[in-house]
Structure 1
């Protein structure tokens, strides 16, 4: 009995680790399926499917043993995270403001989805946080990063979640060159331009994922990631409307 105990324990540990990775892969598959449903259907409810997936995934992660600290939500990190978040938002606003003042750069902000300023403001302060920023940060820098950090080094966890984050944006960038005049002028609006637009978006968001992941590990908090993500998308939406008005 004693001779078999260590091997039996090792077998249980291996089985537990296999189940862990199966669960993580299953979560990632569900995430990407939800993203596809949101982008390729036109129902009102489907716009909220990623948000719902993020909330359910966070609840299941907590139920499976991940702690608030694993998700970047520990109270101990709130003050530090808030300081980083404030600096990040101010820095992004300054950078975008400078870019808007330069006509060639201003053209890159002219996204057709945000030609109307009231709609851009509604999107920036309601829709973008609820449908994009909060759910994506909960999924990628919360659940996925927290789960990966349980089994891997910070460097590996950051790299893996960043790669997934880049791939996550394939579908949302399919119409990038036709919906953004500035980007379309740079890479073209034909099939080659569309491919370059997608590749560029994946590379850019993957690189952004590295920055988000580094912030998450550096501060231990999700707040700086939320701040940077919102500033890039929300302030970017308002900047797009201003760019159209200044054109």
Structure 2
């Protein structure tokens, strides 16, 4: 039986059911649903999913503070997230500037992107279709839902594991686009490795969320990694 967190009422059956359903939906969403969504509708569909998820979270009793969306914590979120953003920006700038490190950034999917395509990615698709949706879903709603029914460490662990599984399909797409491996067993190992890495990254993002009390902190780190990573990949290709 789940023990109640001090100062919080014991988890109800509805709370447990919501957390379990959410895990199932998120495991399937990026691996089963998104591949069937037209690319032109990616931002719209994920944006709508974000709204539905927030409404469901509020219906089950999660507060804006529980979700990391309290205005009182915005300053803390901006502080922690701003430092994380700067660290990622510096690391990517060094990688682009050092020829030996540039191959680490190359991605065939970024090789032929025109300036307009890059702008669309970093200003619209990534911030609204990826970062907003994933941060609300994982470090916002899922983490908050799990914290009602599990101790903090286990809640973070489950959130991180689901975030790793979330990346199975994108990893397979990246491997295929870059023609990295041929054999099924090496492809499986590569996917497993990336999923473990993203699970660890998910745990770090959850820690930022809990430490700052704001969803803004992990969102800024996630935004820096994805948007500046895209710009760095394009620059690495251009510079050879």
> TM-score with structure 1 length normalisation?
0.85
Choose between structure 1 and 2 for higher RCO, CA contacts under 8 A separated by at least 6 residues. Answer: 2
CA distance in 2, matches of 1:140, 1:57: 11
For the Cα contact (< 8 Å) 1:137–1:222, is it kept in 2? yes
Tell me if 1:38 matches 2:34. Answer: yes
Tell me if 1:227 matches 2:208. Answer: no
Cα shift readout 1:125-162 (whole Å, capped 9, x = no counterpart): 21101111000000000001111122322212111100
Runs of 4+ aligned structure 1 residues displaced above 6 Å come to none
- Residue of structure 2 in register with 1:56 after alignment: 52
Matching residue within 102, 105, 126 for 1:106: 102
Alpha-carbon spacing, 1:51–1:189, altered in 2? closer, same or farther (3 Å)? farther
1:117 positional shift: 4.8
For the Cα contact (< 8 Å) 2:14–2:60, is it kept in 1? no
Structure 1 unaligned spans of 5+: 1-12
Q: What pairs with 1:177-196 in structure 2 (closer than 5 Å)?
A: 177-180=175-178, 184=180, 188-196=181-189
Structure with higher Rg: it is: 1
For the Cα contact (< 8 Å) 2:43–2:125, is it kept in 1? no
Cα shift readout 1:89-146 (whole Å, capped 9, x = no counterpart): 1110100111122334311221122222512232012110111100000000000111
For the Cα contact (< 8 Å) 2:209–2:218, is it kept in 1? yes
Q: What pairs with 1:143-222 in structure 2 (closer than 5 Å)?
A: 143-180=141-178, 184=180, 188-222=181-215
1:38 positional shift: 1.0
Tell me if 1:89 matches 2:82. Answer: no
Matching residue within 118, 138, 156 for 2:136: 138
CA distance in 1, matches of 2:231, 2:40: 23
Alpha-carbon spacing, 1:90–1:207, altered in 2? closer, same or farther (3 Å)? same
Alpha-carbon spacing, 1:17–1:78, altered in 2? closer, same or farther (3 Å)? same
Tell me if 1:239 matches 2:232. Answer: yes
> TM-score with structure 2 length normalisation?
0.87
SS in 1 for 2:63: coil
When the two structures are aligned, how many residues end up with a matched partner? 229
SS in 2 for 1:78: helix
CA distance in 2, matches of 1:200, 1:85: 26
Alpha-carbon spacing, 1:174–1:47, altered in 2? closer, same or farther (3 Å)? farther
- Residue of structure 1 in register with 2:5 after alignment: none
- Residue of structure 2 in register with 1:5 after alignment: none
